[in-house]
Amino acid sequence: MVHYQSTRGHKETLSFQDVILSGLAPDKGLYLPDSITLENLAYLTQEDLSYEDF
């Protein structure tokens, strides 16, 4: 299960449901997952990762 922490260093971790219901963290930071796995991006090319104008 993924846990979320505030970007401003608040040490409490929350579940996805708690993050959605609370909005901002008590320290006014944004919530991000405590870990982000990037290994799934290894097969993508630069073109797949770049921003396209429409």
Asked whether residue 14 is assigned to any structural domain, the reply reads yes
Say what the pTM is: 0.62
Q: Tokens for 43? A: 């097969």
Asked whether residue 22 is assigned to any structural domain, the reply reads yes
User: What DSSP character marks residue 17?
Assistant: H
The yes-or-no verdict on residue 54 having pLDDT over 70 is: no
Distance of CA 16 to the CA centre of its chain: 10
Asked whether residue 54 is assigned to any structural domain, the reply reads no
For the beta carbon of residue 13, count every other beta carbon within 10 angstroms: 15
Domain that holds residue 26: 4-49
The yes-or-no verdict on residue 53 having pLDDT over 70 is: no
pLDDT value, residue 25: 92
Asked whether residue 40 is assigned to any structural domain, the reply reads yes
